């Protein structure tokens, strides 16, 4: 029977609070508790499509297989076929290492039927997200009144910021002849691939400015691009922590050009802007305070679960003008002066994905974050020194943040591939090869506060 004592029918079964529902919730929460509190979750590894089909069997049918069997398939077949991204020896790409509080609160977000797209429907959660965004804006030196929204990741964050930049350029040039030719985005040749992806979506051109051996985009080369392309430049993108090396561009020098040229400065800090929170590296980020927009991904180095990117505008109104959607059924929202997050990015429907970060920050405090970020920076420096000492290993660049790139002398790509495969097969580490200027290399991307020097040294031992 349902709570109001009416007979339960098939069409209410999935939504009624019943004995079946209670069993499902208990089973799911039991699994979640075991997973969150586990301190020995294996790295695991991918499986072939044929293996998964054989082991999982048919799970979707007219009558269903029941919660117990479905959860068992997930726990024993599907989950082990996924690499554990929060494992301390997951060192590839840019890992994720969500805090225990953030992961636990993600369950609350899902359980609470929250909508985070408008103030009307989600004032409380929007308030909490905005508190985090205001705190971040202050840490980055942006003025009072700066704000934005949490989107799913850096690609959508960069796209949304650059769309706002184009809208700003159009408005700025309304009283003059529009520039001839196509709009242009200026960025480093080592900028993240999402900048080129955004340009394709926007149908604009990218001017990839060459950089030196250190990978840093500097003002003289940006000046040349601005002089060449003039009013066609809608934005200059500076990277504060490139994905491949963790390189921070010369933001101060680039920002100083705003005194001579009228352009939108966007900071792609998806991975590395987080290090501005640590006193160990804060001096690298001079000039960020002059940005018109910034992004940072809390699911990378701010210990939030997937997926969350903080997009912050210096003047949020520029984002709102670019992104507010208009339709008759939305008039109630768009005619109000309330802060509706969906007005600030290329999205409408959204979950309040910033809440796990809010809960974790509120629980542990900012100092815990600064110390955990500092751990990764110090560990990167220490293991880089160790690599430099070891015969047969060569650092490609000294690390600025928490990415360490190095080569094994004499190795070709096939050697790195065999080494990487063996590490994963032995469940020791997940370290996929990378490359730079056509040369293969190895790379540690250190995020987790649980990663140790001893673990990294043991990985180096396997290269001998």
Whether 274 has a pLDDT exceeding 50, the answer reads yes
Q: Cα 412 from chain centroid? A: 31
Cα 455 from chain centre:
25
Confidence of residue 64 (pLDDT cuts 50, 70, 90): very high
What is the reported pLDDT for 331? 62
Phi, psi of 316 (to 5 degrees): -55, -25
Q: Residue 181's pLDDT is what?
A: 85
pLDDT above 50 (res 147): yes
- Model confidence pLDDT, tens digit, residues 203-262: 999 999 999 999 999 999 999 999 999 999 999 999 999 999 999 999 999 999 999 999
Per-residue confidence band for 9, with pLDDT thresholds at 50, 70 and 90: low
Q: How far apart are the first and last CA of the chain?
A: 67
| CA–CA gap between residue 286 and residue 302 (Å, rounded) | 20
Query: How many percent of the chain have pLDDT more than 70?
Result: 95
Crossing angle (nearest 10°) for helices 193-202 and 154-172: 50
Give the pLDDT band of residue 336 (cuts 50, 70, 90): confident
User: Residue 150: enclosing H or E segment and its boundaries?
Assistant: strand 147-151
Using 50, 70 and 90 to split pLDDT, how confident is the model at 330?
Answer: low
418-439 pLDDT, tens digit per residue, is 999 999 999 999 999 999 999 9
Residue 61 has pLDDT above 90, yes or no: yes
* Structure confidence at residue 242 (pLDDT): 97
DSSP 344-395: GSS-SS---TTHHHHHHHHHH-HHHHHHHHHHHHHHHHHHHHHHHHSTTEEE
pLDDT reported for residue 334 = 72
In angstroms and rounded to an integer, the radius of gyration of the C-alpha atoms of the chain is 24
- Token couple for 357: 């970060």
Q: The tokens of 301 are what? A: 């180095």
What pLDDT score was predicted for residue 6? 45
What's the pLDDT at 455?
98
Q: Average pLDDT in the 301-321 region?
A: 97
The C-alpha atoms of residue 214 and residue 52 are separated, in whole angstroms, by 44
pTM over 0.85: yes
pLDDT at residue number 464: 84
Q: How many CA atoms lie within 13 A of 47 on its CB side?
A: 16
pLDDT at 333: 64
In contact, 405 and 434? CB cutoff 8 Å: yes
Place of tokens 């479905």: 70
For residue 20 the two structure tokens come to 């079946």
* pLDDT of amino acid 295: 98
Polymer length of the chain: 464
Q: Which residues pair with 185 in a beta bridge?
A: 206, 235
Cis peptide bond prior to 235, omega within 30° of 0: no
Q: Which of the pair, 397 or 1, is modelled with greater confidence?
A: 397
* Region class of 394: left (phi > 0), else alpha (psi between -120 and 50), else beta: beta
Q: How many CB atoms lie within 10 A of CB 125?
A: 22
Interval 356-360 mean pLDDT: 98
Let me know: does 352 contact 116? Beta carbons within 8 Å: yes
> Are the C-beta atoms of 257 and 221 separated by less than 8 Å?
no
Q: Would you say 212 and 204 are in contact if contact means Cβ atoms under 8 Å apart? A: no
Q: Report pLDDT digits (tens) over 83-137.
A: 999 999 999 999 999 999 999 999 999 999 999 999 999 999 999 999 999 999 9
Q: Is pLDDT at 322 greater than 50 in this prediction?
A: yes
Among the residue ranges 196-200, 246-250, 323-327, the one predicted with the least confidence is 323-327
Cα–Cα nearest to 245, from 427, 99, 441:
441
Of the pLDDT bands very low, low, confident and very high (cuts 50, 70, 90), residue 337 is confident
Do 362 and 368 touch, CB atoms closer than 8 A?
Answer: no
Write down all domains in the chain, each with its CATH number in brackets. 114-363 (3.40.640.10), 366-461 (3.90.1150.170)
CA angle 253, 256, 259 (to 5 degrees): 160
Mean pLDDT of the chain: 95
* Sign of the alpha-carbon torsion through 390, 392, 397, 400: negative
Note whether 277 and 370 are within 8 A (CB).
yes
């Amino acid at each position: 029977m349902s709570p109001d004592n009416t007979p339960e029918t098939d069409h209410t079964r999935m939504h009624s609070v019943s004995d079946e529902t209670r069993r499902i919730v208990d089973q799911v929460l039991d699994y979640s508790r075991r997973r969150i509190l586990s301190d020995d979750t294996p790295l695991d590894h991918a499986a072939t499509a044929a293996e998964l089909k054989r082991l999982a069997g048919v799970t979707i049918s007219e009558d269903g297989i029941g919660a117990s069997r479905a959860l068992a398939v997930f726990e024993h077949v599907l989950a082990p076929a996924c690499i554990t991204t929060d494992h301390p020896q997951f060192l590839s790409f840019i890992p994720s290492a969500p805090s225990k509080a953030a992961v636990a609160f993600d369950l609350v977000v899902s359980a609470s039927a929250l909508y985070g797209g408008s103030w009307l429907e989600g004032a409380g959660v929007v308030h909490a997200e905005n508190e985090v965004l205001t705190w971040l804006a202050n840490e980055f030196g942006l003025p009072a009144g700066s704000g934005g929204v949490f989107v799913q990741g850096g690609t959508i964050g960069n796209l949304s910021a650059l769309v706002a930049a184009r809208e700003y350029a159009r408005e700025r040039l309304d009283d003059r002849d529009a520039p001839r030719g196509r709009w242009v985005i200026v960025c480093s040749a080592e900028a993240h691939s999402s900048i080129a992806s955004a340009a394709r979506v926007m149908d604009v051109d990218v001017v990839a400015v060459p950089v030196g051996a250190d990978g840093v985009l500097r003002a003289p080369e940006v000046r040349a691009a601005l002089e060449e392309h003039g009013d066609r430049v809608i934005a200059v993108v500076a990277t504060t922590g490139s994905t491949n090396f963790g390189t921070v561009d010369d933001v101060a020098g680039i920002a100083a050009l705003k005194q001579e040229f009228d352009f939108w400065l966007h900071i792609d800090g998806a991975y590395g802007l987080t290090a501005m929170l640590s006193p160990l590296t804060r001096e690298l980020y001079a000039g960020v305070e002059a940005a018109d927009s910034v992004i940072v991904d809390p699911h990378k180095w701010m210990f939030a679960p997937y997926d969350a990117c903080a997009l912050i505008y210096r003047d949020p109104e520029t984002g709102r003008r670019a992104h507010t959607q208009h339709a008759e059924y939305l008039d109630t929202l768009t005619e109000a002066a309330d802060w509706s997050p969906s007005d600030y990015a290329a999205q409408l429907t959204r979950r309040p994905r910033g809440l796990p970060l809010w809960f974790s920050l509120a629980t542990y405090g900012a100092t815990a974050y600064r110390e955990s970020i500092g751990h990764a920076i110090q560990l990167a420096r220490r293991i880089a020194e160790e690599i430099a000492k070891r015969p047969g290993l060569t650092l490609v660049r000294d690390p600025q943040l928490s990415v360490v790139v190095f080569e094994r002398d004499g190795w070709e790509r096939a050697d790195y591939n065999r080494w990487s495969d063996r590490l994963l097969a032995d469940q020791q580490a997940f370290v996929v090869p990378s490359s730079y200027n056509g040369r293969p290399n190895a790379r540690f991307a250190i995020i987790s506060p649980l990663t140790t020097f001893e673990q990294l040294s043991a990985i180096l031992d396997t290269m001998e």
